[in-house]
Amino acid sequence: MIRAIIFDFNGVIADDETPHLHCFQQALAEAGLSLTKEEYYGTYLGMDERTCATALLARRDHTCDRNVLSAIMERKAALFREYTALHKPALFPGVVEFVKRARTQCRLAIATGGRREQIAHALHDTAIEQDFPVLVSADDCAVGKPDPAIYRHTLKLLNALEPRPPLITAGECLVVEDSLAGIQSAHAAGMRVLALATTYPAEKLGEADYILPNLQGVTPEEVLRLISANRPPAPLSQNSDR
């Protein structure tokens, strides 16, 4: 039985992966590093930016200077802040309806490799701004996905909520993800995963417990029934353009 649903954010709730990548590429370039779109969506499949930047620095310098890494991350955050001040990220179709219905049945949380300020800004003045009692971001975890730390920490916070329910186990959590690193992170934490093919094609997400094109027209009841039945991942819809 699923009692908690934990959402990744970028590429799952907010349609903002492209501007995140562009701002990240600029911050890296200013530090003398390069990252193509193909590398980001291939070699660094779904890593959070801190983990990706660490790998790039280590590849170039054979070490990771923490001051350089911090400067890159601060610059990227500033660039994204400037961008979203003029272009607020849109929520994916179907997300509001799914979240509103899910919150009546499960405890909800967000666990993301993005920064807390970015998530708060994207949710501000939306219909689901108050629907996530737990939000865990890159600011809260020193290690990013695919390490399971972020999902383990999120579960700990869910179980600390008042009124406290009977202890929620990892096996009673469903994670909604859009990347291989996220899927691996959740599975390593002992959780089941619904993958959305919003960022990567379905064939890149085969390790998930189930795959859907997106959440549009999908109800939590349908998803929980499919996950509980432990069916194999579904193929991408024929009418999807991804």
106 and 82 in a common domain: no
pLDDT of residue 228: 84
pLDDT of residue 164: 84
Query: What CA–CA distance (Å, rounded) separates 241 from 229?
Result: 28
Find the domain containing 75 and state its range.
17-86
193 and 135 in a common domain: yes
143 and 200 in a common domain: yes
Query: What CA–CA distance (Å, rounded) separates 117 from 139?
Result: 9
111 and 23 in a common domain: no
Residues for the chain: how many in total?
Answer: 242
pTM: 0.85
The CATH number covering residue 61 comes to 1.10.150
23 and 126 in a common domain: no
Q: What is the pLDDT of residues 98-109, one digit of tens each?
A: 999 999 999 999
Q: How confident is the model at residue 88 (pLDDT cuts 50, 70, 90)?
A: confident
* Mean pLDDT of all residues belonging to the chain: 91
In this structure, what is the dihedral angle of CA atoms 6, 215, 42, 123, given to the nearest 10 degrees? -60
Q: How many folded domains does the chain comprise?
A: 2
Q: What is the pLDDT of residues 146-155, one digit of tens each?
A: 999 999 999 9
The CATH number covering residue 103 comes to 3.40.50.1000
210 and 175 in a common domain: yes
